Amino acid sequence: MFLLQLAVILFFTKVAAFLVKKISLPSVMGEVLAGVVLGPSILGIIQYTEVLSHMAEIGVILLMFAAGLETDVNELKECGNTSILTALGGVVLPFVGGSAAAYFFGSNLYESIFIGTILTATSVSITVQTLFEMGKLKSREGLTILGAAVLDDILGIIILTLIAGVAVGETSIMLLLIKITAFFFLCWLIYRWQLVKRMAKIITRLRLQEGLLSFTIIVIFTFAYISEKSGVAAIIGSYIVGIMFGQTPYKERVLKSIQPFSISLFIPIFFATIGIRAELEHFSATIGFAITIIGVAILSKILGCGLGAKMTGMDLMASIRVGVGMIPRAEVALIVASIGLKNGIISSPTFSSAVAMVLITTIITPIMLKYSFAVGNETRLIKS
Amino acid sequence: MFLLQLAVILFFTKVAAFLVKKISLPSVMGEVLAGVVLGPSILGIIQYTEVLSHMAEIGVILLMFAAGLETDVNELKECGNTSILTALGGVVLPFVGGSAAAYFFGSNLYESIFIGTILTATSVSITVQTLFEMGKLKSREGLTILGAAVLDDILGIIILTLIAGVAVGETSIMLLLIKITAFFFLCWLIYRWQLVKRMAKIITRLRLQEGLLSFTIIVIFTFAYISEKSGVAAIIGSYIVGIMFGQTPYKERVLKSIQPFSISLFIPIFFATIGIRAELEHFSATIGFAITIIGVAILSKILGCGLGAKMTGMDLMASIRVGVGMIPRAEVALIVASIGLKNGIISSPTFSSAVAMVLITTIITPIMLKYSFAVGNETRLIKS
């Protein structure tokens, strides 16, 4: 059953990706839509099982690792200031806007603040994949987005911890902050001492069958685990590991051996599960609220992140592109939403609205990104 | 937790494989032993979870696919008669020997016959990996073993169905035989019409990202599912798919893109789970019975298969090698044993003995295979 399930998902995601590409949209959109069609929302052929969730987790981790591998650290440093302001703008506006909108619709204070929190954390995997396909991942916009998403995630998690800590009364905020700091200090040490490069050198000398890839996978999984335990999302951990490997001479070899299976098995499953998890039947009950939340989610990121980017001297079109790239919410938003649902902070219709928001922002971003870059290219053509 | 679990398994299997290779034993032995050490039998760090079982299933399926890919059909045909007699000898002797031994130890008739059934089905994955590492997979012995294992599996399943059908009274034997026949007829049609080659040609023309690999994975998973539903083990289905792809010009490309992740993620997990599932603490209770069953399991395959091979004119040393290659029991034996346990046909200590038998035959085969080929090479040196 499980093998057939995987085969069906892979077949339909690939067909959808192909069709969507035919109309010049990024394949990732097709993969998410295939998930919606196969999942409980429409056909109900595929259910979201534990195994699927684990395969999807490996998928998003490998995706972020590849993004890290392709990241040029020096270029990322140059985008530093832009990223910080982008992240700040992209956290403050969605948080305030989301909270206000929910309060306006009659949510209590806790629920309102929680909805604001759900709207903060960007999930750049969709943007990364789209930019990657467009060959724009290494553009200034791409690097700003990646940098901002790293900070954004940290800010979002800090807010969540504060809110959930207050609402549920479980978590020690100081302890969490210490753990996050310790994690990034550990990353800095490994990076500083070039431990990845040194170990990879030893491994390749041992001449094991696929030794380098095995080493890479072990490091990715271990780091994803450690980062999660430190209160940083696993995808951030794997992204950092990607950066570490990207600084070694083994970059190309690692990319070449890790990409085929990622692209043809794990990553399509990840994007399909986003669609599968969107239970659209709950959506119609709260259509007005949901539409408002979705509108706030989209506009607050474009405005907030765009403003942040603009303030550091980026031109208008590039700032908008950064804002657009920061729109999608996925894992973190879904995780936050389910924490809220579990602890009785948000209601079930609110949860469905959050899922719809994840879905819409996910689907809309590739289209808007493509369009925003197309407009940019025209501008440049006119100028030259 | 799940990512750390995978990282720990991969790390220890790779270290064990490296150490075991240092003393000239095949790496697969190290991987199984790493599973025993990590699993409940010794350290108890890793438990056998649903996710691990699914990853392991993908592992064994990819392993058998690669074996099929490397199989030269014309050479396999040449080994046809040898394979048939080898398979027959390797089914009759273990079945009779196992049943007799169990009856002698006081089992009732049903349990005795069931134990005989457990001993029939060979699991060649260990042998395939060992021969692959030794570069002997395409030898006459290797091809005879692969051919015999295919037939052996079918014979074993037919016996199981007869026994379980009688004992449990559920399964329609005629229906099963029709389904198995239909499955092999379907395979023959696909092979005859060169459907795999034709479709692969279309896929590569579409220029999808990793389109060929995606297509391959979809076909493997679908076939594994169909074969299982038809009453043929999933690994046999994927082996046949491997043969089909092996006959196309895409053979090398497919092998190159499918091997890295198979070798560094899925296959080590599969071999580790064999070790993890062996709960040795139950073993000591029935040591005498277990030793007898293990002895019968080993000798009956060497004698039965060896005799079958010898009767078709293979020389003595090669016949022994074939017999040795047919020793290991794994998935099918474990599946049969657990069916027996679930239906109250075999007792819990008997089940543990079956698991111990799987473990010992798995560990012993690589060593014996290496030794048998070393002796064979010496003989050849003397002759020349």
Mutation test of the interface with chain B: which of A9, A209, A241, choosing the one with the most B Cβ atoms within 10 A?
A: A209
Judge contact between A308 and A77, C-beta under 8 A.
Answer: no
- The answer to the question of residue B14 being in a domain is no
Judge: A260–B258 Cβ closer than 8 Å, yes or no.
yes
pLDDT at A198 > cutoff 80: yes
Judge: A57–B3 Cβ closer than 8 Å, yes or no.
yes
Mean pLDDT value of segment A331-336? 74
**Confidence bin at B260 (pLDDT 50/70/90):** very high
- The answer to the question of residue B233 being in a domain is yes
Closest residue, chain B, to A266 (C-alpha):
B214
CA proximity to B154, closest of B188, B191, B179: B179
Integer CA distances (angstroms), A14 to A57, A79, B179, in order:
19, 35, 30
For A384, counting Cβ atoms within 10 Å of its Cβ (0-12 exposed, 13-18 middle, 19+ buried), the class is exposed
Instruction: State the pLDDT at residue A380.
Output: 43
Mean pLDDT value of segment A357-373? 88
Closest residue, chain A, to B28 (C-alpha):
A209
**Confidence bin at A8 (pLDDT 50/70/90):** very high
Look over chain A and give the mean of its residue pLDDT values, rounded to a whole number.
85
Instruction: State the pLDDT at residue A384.
Output: 33
Count Cβ atoms below 10 Å from residue A47 Cβ, excluding itself: 11
Query: Structural domain of residue B335, as residue ranges?
Result: 62-265+287-383
pLDDT at B1 > cutoff 80: no
**Confidence bin at A7 (pLDDT 50/70/90):** very high
Using DSSP, state whether B209 is helix, strand or coil. Answer: coil
Chain A residues in contact with chain B using a Cβ-Cβ cutoff of 8 Å: 1-4, 6-7, 10-11, 14, 17-18, 27, 50-51, 54, 57-58, 61, 206, 208-211, 213-214, 217-218, 221-222, 224-225, 228, 234, 257-261, 263-265, 268
What does the alpha-carbon distance between residue A269 and residue A60 come to, in Å, rounded to a whole number?
Answer: 9
List, in order, residues 6 or more apart from B116 with CB less than 8 Å away.
B94, B95, B96, B97, B98, B99, B100, B102
> What is the pTM for the complete model shown?
0.82
Q: What is the CATH number of the domain that holds A312?
A: 1.20.1530.20
**Which of chain B's residues have a Cβ under 8 Å away from the Cβ of A210?**
259-260, 263-264
Distance of CA A8 to the CA centre of its chain: 25
Judge: B261–A263 Cβ closer than 8 Å, yes or no.
no
- The answer to the question of residue B274 being in a domain is no
- The answer to the question of residue B270 being in a domain is no
Judge: A264–B50 Cβ closer than 8 Å, yes or no.
no
pLDDT tens by residue, A43-98: 989 988 999 999 999 998 998 898 888 877 776 676 677 888 999 999 999 999 99
More confidently predicted of A18 and B286:
A18
Buried b (16+ CB within 10 A) or exposed e, A55-93: bbbbbbbbbbbbbbbbbeeebbeebeebbbbbbbbbbbb
Nearest beta carbon to residue B2 from set A3, A54, A214: A54
Evaluate whether ipTM surpasses 0.85.
no
**Confidence bin at A255 (pLDDT 50/70/90):** very high
**Confidence bin at A136 (pLDDT 50/70/90):** confident
Cα angle for residues A196, A197, A202 (degrees, 5° grid): 100
Structure tokens at A213: 């890839």
| Weakest-pLDDT range from B40-49, B92-101, B224-233 | B224-233
Nearest beta carbon to residue A217 from set B18, B221, B264: B264
Judge: B214–A61 Cβ closer than 8 Å, yes or no.
no
Distance of residue A280 Cα from the nearest chain B Cα, in angstroms = 28
Number of domains in chain B: 1
Three-state DSSP string of B305-358: HHHHHHHCCCCHHHHHHHHHHCCCCCHHHHHHHHHHHHCCCCCHHHHHHHHHHH
Closest residue, chain B, to A267 (C-alpha):
B214
Report the half-sphere exposure of B371 (CA within 13 A, side-chain side). 7
pLDDT tens by residue, B100-149: 999 998 888 888 998 999 999 887 778 888 888 888 888 888 888 888 88
